[in-house]
Amino acid sequence: MKKMIRFTAPLIAVALMSIAPAFVRAQDSAKTNQSQNVSTEAWNTPPAGTEQSQQGYRDGVQALQLDMAAKRTIDAKVSHLYVHPPVRGAARDEYRASFTAGYEAAKKHTTAGGGGE
């Protein structure tokens, strides 16, 4: 029994020490991936504003993606949500302006080689 403990204790210690660098590499790669995701997703984050304007921006980004997938005309003012916004009253103009901004940001990102998402 003592011989087995003398053999396994150092073996376990070596195994534990060799695993630590793998965890460090995994954490570093996770940080790198996370920082890359932040920089690539910054364009589709709606600017600060009212709830209607943020929703308009997100809808504009999604509308461009749907228009491209369906091979429709690439124009924000022709989109269904621009023509018939899901808000009423004075918020319509704010929604439409944000919708157009999101649509144009997505178009710029797509044509710049971003590939959509």
Examine the domain organization and report whether 56 and 79 are in the same domain.
yes
- Total domains, the chain: 2
- Residue 105 and residue 44 in contact, taking contact as beta carbons nearer than 8 Å: yes
Examine the domain organization and report whether 104 and 88 are in the same domain.
yes
- Residue 56 and residue 98 in contact, taking contact as beta carbons nearer than 8 Å: yes
Q: Look at residue 13 in the predicted model and tell me its pLDDT.
A: 79
Dihedral angle over CA of 3, 8, 9, 15, nearest 10: 160
pTM of this structure: 0.59
Q: Look at residue 117 in the predicted model and tell me its pLDDT.
A: 47
Examine the domain organization and report whether 51 and 97 are in the same domain.
yes
Examine the domain organization and report whether 29 and 75 are in the same domain.
no
Examine the domain organization and report whether 110 and 93 are in the same domain.
yes
- For residue 95, the enclosing domain spans 46-114
Ordered per-residue pLDDT tens for the chain, 117 residues: 777 778 788 878 777 777 767 666 666 666 665 555 555 567 667 777 778 888 888 899 999 999 989 888 888 888 888 888 888 888 898 999 999 999 998 888 888 765 544
Residue (of 72, 71, 81, 87) closest to 102 by Cα position: 81
Examine the domain organization and report whether 69 and 92 are in the same domain.
yes
Examine the domain organization and report whether 69 and 94 are in the same domain.
yes
Examine the domain organization and report whether 54 and 76 are in the same domain.
yes
Examine the domain organization and report whether 39 and 79 are in the same domain.
no
Examine the domain organization and report whether 79 and 29 are in the same domain.
no
Q: Look at residue 100 in the predicted model and tell me its pLDDT.
A: 92
